[in-house]
Chain A
Amino acid sequence: MNMTAQKNRILLAALRNMPIILFVGLFLCFGVLAPDFFRYQSIENAVKQASYVGIVAVGMAFVLLTGGIDLSVGSNMYLSTVVAGLCIQRFALSPAAAFVICIGAGFTFAMTNAFIVTRLRVVPFIATLATLVAGRGLGRMLSQSRAISFPETITRIGSARLFDVVPYPIVLFALTLLAAWIMLHRTQWGRQIYAVGYNLESARKAGINTVRIRAIAYVVCGVFASFGGFISVAQLGNVNAGFGRGSEFDAIAAAVLGGISLFGGIGSIFPGVLLGAVMIQLVSTGLVSAKVDLYLHSMISALIIFAAVAIDSHRTILLKKMQQRHIRIE
């Protein structure tokens, strides 16, 4: 075994486990700076606040795993909660019915994305960029750009605790993670999502219905986005015109930081996306507590995404190089 190959292998192992390495680093960093951080309360808070980003990021992971991207999740969150909120105002719905309507709206939104990407074959980022703008426009048209407040019956969910121990957002986040993990690892569709992301053409040749698999990924992403939107609204109490703007950023960042490759086929929901979402939340909590200028936050999160994407790209190049070696008979 020669030196460069050895070095590459170590580097690759490091890059593969980057989420854990980063997370531990960040955790220790915060711990040293603010010893309070290790208390249960602050950890619980971080996870609770990360829950809605995490749920959206889990959906995003499905799309990224197929090698696509969904920029419209923020608009989806906004539009589906606006629709739910308006229905509550108009028809005095129960929380459960509002929830169903919210998810239904998210599903419809996602089906549009899926149709445009898989049937009309438009490049994903352009397709979802268009639905991002159109979706927010539709939402603001429906809401007349006014904030829509949600009744107490729903906001109660945001602050309630299961058995008076675990906050509901965390429970729902955990359930989402579990459901997504089962979908990806214990169903045929999930395995096929990985196959499609590895190589679309090979997947087609292997007899996989690639159109359906990619569509499923977009639909899962949209449904989770509206779900995350609902939970976020339950914590905030109302939907204003800027709700969900930039959430696509946080979701992509959480997924990519969690080790999901933008190039498809690589990464896992657990613990990857969980760590990614908590990291994003830790950073923004940390910035607030360090009293960093509010205007700097978006710049810092942009830098973090840049680093995550750079790492992902480097890992992909390395993997390709190592596969090239495999051409040779050893």
Chain B
Amino acid sequence: MTVFRAPLLPVVLAEARSQPADAPASVDADTRAALAELYARHAPPIRRFLRDLLGDTALAADATQETFCRAYRRLGSLDDRARSVPWLFAIARNVSLELRRARMRHGKVFVPHETTHEAHDAVCRMGSPEAVLLDQESVRVVGAALARLGEDRRAALLLRFDHGLAYEEIAEAMSWTLAKVKIEIFRAREVLRATLDEYRAGGAR
């Protein structure tokens, strides 16, 4: 009896070598230029957004890099470059959610970074004493308000007031309905106003 043994090894090797759709491919010059432009334009706000969500400067830097790595891999799915802002923020938020989950597993929690010396040192390096004072106050008040918000609501408020995204763009970035965006921003604004009122009354330190 002849036992047929199929040439399995080449088949298995060929299957294992076949790359999945999202496998990293070499970066051609055009893509490199597109990504560099995207980075130059959007890296600072993305990093600020991530820092606000994660409360950690070093982690935000890593998350920014991860955001743009993912953006590169999905660059082909971006039909309209004009929609790149909500698209990038959506990626950034997903990255932050994953990092937060990972940190929660290790028992770490969100700490508003405005309370660190770094933010105060940063504003002290700037301009006139009035400007320094204004910036310090804004960092403190907004930071106090953000610390009172849950992650989702904080993200929505930041996207609207800090990054100036339209409601429709926020809905796209957060994968929410427009109605939910309006409700979340309304409630976040209430918290912001309450914090501002406390600040004026001498609280919110």
A is bound by B: no
Using a CB–CB cutoff of 8 Å, the interface residues on chain B facing chain A are none
